[in-house]
Amino acid sequence: MNVLITEYLRINLDSEQWECRRCGHAHGSARENYKRGLLVYDRDPREIHKPLLDPAKYERTYSPDPTWCRILEYYCASCGTMVEAEYLPPGHPPLHDIELDIDALKAQWKDRKEVVEPTIGPDLALEKALHRRALHKEHGHAH
């Protein structure tokens, strides 16, 4: 049985492996950091958040400062899907961001039915914001 953990990761409870949800590639033991099975690239943030102001005129251009901020891009080694984009100061140890108790997970899913596609929950925060705007409009404000 597979348990969906993120948009791109699942845990195969039978093999106890992290797997890619796009291509099925096994990244490594679910008891270890999944990042160990991925490829990493140190991206200059200016390539993603491009300077909008002329760098010849200004030092600050809406781009992050590449001496303060780097983007670590994590790719599936098999299909190249980008699993994570981690923003860190240069040299900072990457975060072990998901560390699950696999035995407890197995016990938890013993009686659960496998979920193949995640359900989509209601966007309640947005609903509340829109409701508030509607009320505001009722009070005579135009927007």
Nearer to other proteins (CB atom), residue 24 or residue 87: 87
Give the CA angle between residues 101, 106, 108 to the nearest 5°: 90
Nearer to other proteins (CB atom), residue 14 or residue 139: 139
Other beta carbons within 10 angstroms of residue 29's beta carbon come to 15
Nearer to other proteins (CB atom), residue 19 or residue 38: 38
C-alpha closest to that of 8 among 121, 88, 118 = 118
Tokens coding 124: 């309640």
Other beta carbons within 10 angstroms of residue 73's beta carbon come to 17
Nearest approach, Cβ of residue 15 and other proteins (Å): 17
Nearest approach, Cβ of residue 124 and other proteins (Å): 4
Nearest approach, Cβ of residue 16 and other proteins (Å): 14
